[in-house]
Amino acid sequence: MKINLFVAGMLLCSAGAHAQNMFSTSSSHPADTVMSEPHEQALRYPFLRQASVTASVFGSGHFDSKLNGKDFASGKSSNARISSFFSIPISSWDGNTIGATIYHNEQFFNIKEANNQLAEPRVDEGDIAKSTLGLSLNFSRIDAIFHTPVIYSAVFTGMSDDLKALRRFNFNGSVSFPLKRSRDVYFSLGALVLIDPSAPFPVLPLVNYFRKLNSSGLELTLVLPQSVSLKQSLSRNAWIYVGTTANTYASFYKTSNPALPARYSYNTSELKSGPGFEYLLGKYVLLGVSGGVNSIITARTIAKGSSYNDAFIKTTAKSTPYGEFHISLLPF
């Protein structure tokens, strides 16, 4: 069992998929690989893949914003996003593992039908493109407390928009207790601590539940607070699924407008819900398409040095349809 848990630690170090996402970088612990190979784990858990590029397109949706509690602006926004990451195992020893994740996120916003309620500042119509770069260092340790397995994990993330300066530093720490492990069922409970100015909550519960529902390949995977999915194999290399995934995104801004802070960030927490299809091309390349409804749970603009509750702009937006394509590499 010690060897199997050690393999889990190695997988955790590569679990930086979407490192910008406060949920996925340390909150989602995979099954501890009892009778399971890394490729099977990576097919089941997208955040365990070696690398990935995802292109997403979102329909136009209405938004309303308030500035310091006053009506600020409204209009319509259509967005697109290209996200990529690459995970790098660094070292492992005595149940400890260290890895790194490099990521890039490019967001495109198109604003139209802007209706400004204030003289200053104003929301301008047109296109905006923002790039976010990041590096995460991931550490995990497999241990035991009173003969009960426990997985510790820590993720240190630096974020920038131009590689010239660090715009934000985040820390995620988690502990998880595997309670049931078999080929067909896995269940663990734990807690996640977030030191992140864009995090709505400093502590979140962790729940990882996986179950093979029948012999035809139907699987239920629950990884809270990140995702839930129901997946059915069509063949050895093809799967369909339906589910919901939570993600967070940030973009950084600088302005000389006296009505705004000199530096601030725009932060969203989003839920994508709908069906998808994945196909394994060869041994390592996984292609996927999905679509459905994207819901923005929170959208807040935060001055540098401030926190989620101090956001000076709060935005609400209607759900929009989305389409997505991704190409991923399984662990080498």
pLDDT at 331 over 90: no
> pLDDT class for 11, splitting at 50, 70, 90?
very low
pTM, to two decimals: 0.85
pLDDT at 20 over 60: no
Tokens of 84: 């990529």
Q: Is 129 helix (H, G, I), strand (E, B) or coil?
A: strand
**Out of 97-111, 160-174, 264-278, 313-327, which region has the weakest mean confidence (pLDDT)?**
160-174
224 CB contacts (<8 Å, ≥6 apart)?
205, 206, 207, 208
> pLDDT class for 183, splitting at 50, 70, 90?
confident
Task: Read off the amino acid at residue 83.
Answer: S
Percent of the chain residues past pLDDT 90, beyond the cut: 60
What single-letter DSSP state applies at residue 317? Answer: E
Q: What pLDDT score does 21 carry? A: 55
Q: What pLDDT score does 2 carry? A: 38
What single-letter DSSP state applies at residue 226? Answer: T
Of 166, 120, 128, 124, the C-alpha closest to 263 is 166
Q: What pLDDT score does 55 carry? A: 96
Q: What pLDDT score does 244 carry? A: 95
Q: What pLDDT score does 36 carry? A: 56
pLDDT at 200 over 50: yes
> pLDDT class for 54, splitting at 50, 70, 90?
very high
CA distance 325 to 159: 25
pLDDT at 26 over 80: no
Q: What pLDDT score does 145 carry? A: 86
pLDDT at 18 over 50: no
pLDDT at 204 over 50: yes
Q: N- to C-terminal Cα distance for the chain?
A: 23
Q: What pLDDT score does 322 carry? A: 97
Q: Residue range 229-255: average pLDDT?
A: 94
CA distance 280 to 284: 7
CA distance 70 to 66: 5
Q: Residue range 132-137: average pLDDT?
A: 92
Domains of the chain: which residue ranges? Answer: 2-329
What mean pLDDT is reported for the chain? 86
Q: What is the pLDDT of residues 292-329, one digit of tens each?
A: 999 999 999 999 999 999 999 999 999 999 999 999 99
pLDDT at 234 over 90: yes
Assess contact for 298 and 268: CB atoms under 8 A.
Answer: yes
> pLDDT class for 45, splitting at 50, 70, 90?
confident
Q: What is the pLDDT of residues 75-97, one digit of tens each?
A: 999 999 999 999 988 988 888 88
Of 8, 28, 7, the C-alpha closest to 16 is 28
| Residue labelled with tokens 């510790």 | 152
Q: Residue range 218-230: average pLDDT?
A: 92
pLDDT at 30 over 60: no
What are the start-end ranges of the H helices in the chain? 2-13, 38-44
Of 293, 290, 292, the C-alpha closest to 319 is 293
